[in-house]
A = this chain, B = another copy of it.
Amino acid sequence: MDMAARLEALEKKVRDIEDKEKIRECLYVYGFNADLGRSELWVDGWTEDGCYDLEDRKWRGPDDLKDLIASPSNPHKSIENKSQHTMLNLFIRIEGDTAWAEGYSATIVKKAPDHIELWGCAYNHFDFVRSGERWILKYRLRRNIGGPEWGGKAIRRYLEEYGPRAKA
């Protein structure tokens, strides 16, 4: 392969690596904004048609998502500034200007002066779209650990790559 082709191949690889880090950052910032009560910024991390697919209902679009994160009638509001939304085991694939990820969420909450607990943990599938220099969330499917729906509903696309036996 000549140098021009090698350089181009390398540029593509580096872009993929950078995009994966940006996907992680998108999810970390999602957590920061949720935990620190920056509700407007949290909503801005979603596309206009963004959909948060929970077991009991789907939350769609800015008004609905704003209500989910900021309304005192929803559970999130009660944990602001005493929570840490973390994302773990993130398996990510970039496909041009869209991307997906699968992995675990674990929300840590300080419930009492001497008690910190794992408040909510779940299996997740995420879909993203590129937006300028960053990525934003278009869809999140979240299914509770040990919940009524099998975790494999959320953690499944990784199988396209890792499912069949791959040893040489």
Contact = CB atoms under 8 A, between A and B. Distances in A.
Interface of A: 3-4, 6-7, 10-11, 13-14, 17-18, 20-21, 25, 27-29, 31-33, 35-36, 41, 44, 47-48, 81-91, 102-104, 106, 108-110, 116-121, 123, 131-134, 136, 144-146, 150-152, 155, 158-159, 162-163, 165-168
Nearest to A122: B84
Nearest to A155: B32
Given A10-B11, A168-B132, A28 B116 contact: no
30 contacts: A6-B11, A10-B11, A13-B14, A13-B18, A17-B17, A25-B91, A27-B89, A28-B103, A28-B158, A31-B104, A35-B123, A36-B150, A36-B155, A41-B162, A41-B163, A81-B146, A82-B145, A83-B145, A84-B106, A84-B123, A84-B145, A86-B106, A108-B121, A110-B121, A116-B118, A131-B167, A131-B168, A133-B166, A134-B166, A136-B167
